[in-house]
Amino acid sequence: MTLNILRIDASVRREGSVSRELNDKVIDRFAAAGDVAVTKRDLITPLPLIDETWIGATFTDPEDRTDEQTRALELSDDLIAELQAADTLVIGLPIYNFAIPSGLKAWIDLVSRRGVTFRYTESGPVGLLTGKRAIVTVASGGTEVGSDIDFATGYLRHALAFIGITDVLFVKADRLAIDAEATLKAAEAAVAELPLAA
């Protein structure tokens, strides 16, 4: 059975990116264990920010949307289709200035759609993309994952849960500026121990 992986790279660096290198290792681990199909979404190519037209389109029933509103949602539809088709997400998360990169925030905005990836109920929002898991490779120079100044991992965990993805594992290569060798060694060991099945 093929494992469908959606790989998301959020680093603004093509070369020398620890999160990209760790994503490679995660993919290699799954590929060595069985058949995988990988869809790549590289956020180094900027995504558009949501705007008034986009918001208006999401709050308009599909049959009532104008041509402009339909066009405004085309990329969002494509990104959501990638998510829907995936069994596992592999997300590279560099921490920039204590938070997630702007490209990853733009992606989250575009895939968080009322009635498509989440819905509101009397007891609160319910995510619609259930039965998936995410493996997040985190890289930071000085921000320790889980510390008071880490505003990235908690936010991403919450954003994924909001759309229904609650099985989230973090592989951390944090505080690289302090002890890169030990940090990378620990991260690679964590990749080697990742469970192959959700």
Q: What is the four-CA torsion angle of 73, 155, 118, 136, rounded to 10 degrees?
A: 80
In a domain, 197, yes or no: no
In a domain, 198, yes or no: no
Residue 19 known to bind ligand: yes
Query: What is the count of structural domains for the chain?
Result: 1
In a domain, 30, yes or no: yes
Q: What is the four-CA torsion angle of 99, 101, 105, 110, rounded to 10 degrees?
A: -170
SS (H, E, C) 59-112: CCCHHHCCHHHHHHCHHHHHHHHHHHHCCEEEEEEECECCECCHHHHHHHHHHC
Q: Within the chain, which residues score under 70 in pLDDT?
A: 198
pLDDT for the residue numbered 198: 66
Residue 11 known to bind ligand: yes
Tell me, what CATH number does 168's domain have? 3.40.50.360
Contact predicate 9/40, CB 8 Å? yes
pLDDT for the residue numbered 196: 82
pLDDT for the residue numbered 197: 76
Q: pTM of this prediction?
A: 0.96
